[in-house]
Amino acid sequence: MTVPDPTHAELVLGIDPGSRYMGWAVLGSVGVRVHRVDSGVLKVVAEADLPQRLGRLLDELEGLFARFAVTALAIEAAFVKDNPRTALVLGQARGLPIALAARKGLPVHEYPPAVVKRRVAGSGRADKRQMQEMMRLLLEMDRLPAEDEADALAVAWAHLQTVGTFAQPAVARVQAAAVAEDPRPRTAAQTLYLELVQQAGGSRRRR
């Protein structure tokens, strides 16, 4: 039996869906603080047939729901422009965590990738590397998260912003701390974050 974690006001499971690699992340909030509880990537054998891959992912996802007493699911909305088969496979993979959450009576929140990027990086066109660096910095991780893991962290972070767990958007809050008229020197983390935000904004303007 899963016991709710009393140390977190909200515990959200973020999912970056995929049929071969599925990023996942559990973020908890306490007041205005957001903490990374755990995160990673579910991987299945690429050569396996789709039903086998989905079955393995289902087993892994059931383990995550049993391990963490999450209060909500946040998942990236499907965005596939060109390939109908890819869209179909992705839709089947997305259905797994959504169905498990619904079975447990948990709310499901979907966020388009561009919205997630704007919440985290200040630009809907931020690239994969920028998102990885942003999440490493925001969550004070001692390693760079994998691409799919970073996307799952980001969608969970975006959800906690949306529901008002912490009032100011991440970019505005860190920028304010970094550029405020303060006699204290800017921290290395603030400096790096500002550089990443500026890079993301530059990418947006060049397109």
The catalytic residue positions are 16, 76, 148
Report in angstroms the alpha-carbon separations of 134 from 72, 97, 150.
23, 25, 9
Q: In what order do the strands lie in the sheet with 108-111?
A: 33-43, 21-30, 10-16, 72-76, 108-111
Helices 188-206 and 170-179 sit at what angle, rounded to 10 degrees?
Answer: 120
Q: CA 188, CA 27: separation in Å to the nearest integer?
A: 24
End-to-end C-alpha distance for the chain, whole angstroms: 51
Chain centroid offset of residue 191 CA: 23
The values of phi and psi at residue 159, to 5°, are -65, -45
| Angle ∠(57,58,61) on CA atoms, nearest 5 | 85
Both tokens of residue 57? 């992912």
Among 131, 112, 120, residue whose Cα is nearest residue 34: 120
Both tokens of residue 83? 């390939």
